[in-house]
Amino acid sequence: MHDRNLDFMFQREDKTASVNGGFYFARISNTTISVLQKVSDVLDGERLPMGDQEAINAILLKNKDVKWGFVPSKYIIFGATDRDLPSDLSWVAWHHAVRAVNLKEKAQQLLYIAKKVLPAQIQHLKFPQATEA
């Protein structure tokens, strides 16, 4: 994010050019504070079906001075079925619980993903050889 001089990095909304408001990184700056204040102002005045995500997308479209990008999709899993999983699980950094309607379903997704991802990531770890004293 810093190397690319970005104000925000978002997860992509499905395969579209829209951002997903579920998780994002923001640089601490007057620009990001201004954007987030505008989002708050919009949400104070109306109820949007997609909440802050809808407001963020509208503001980013209007404000070309905001520098933003997408977190590479290899770091994110959306959902919790085998078809949702990327072929290389060693890069996965977080899981976005979609299609879950309550906390119990989100927890079930997280457990399912952890059982799939953790073994794949442990396989790629390199441990130094132990030496005898």
Per-residue pLDDT of the chain (133 residues; tens, 9 = 90+): 777 899 999 988 877 788 988 788 999 999 999 999 998 888 887 777 677 888 899 999 998 899 999 998 888 887 777 777 878 888 888 888 877 778 898 888 888 888 888 888 887 777 666 666 6
Domain ranges of the chain: 8-70, 74-123
Kindly tell me the number of DSSP H helices and DSSP E strands found in the chain: 3, 5
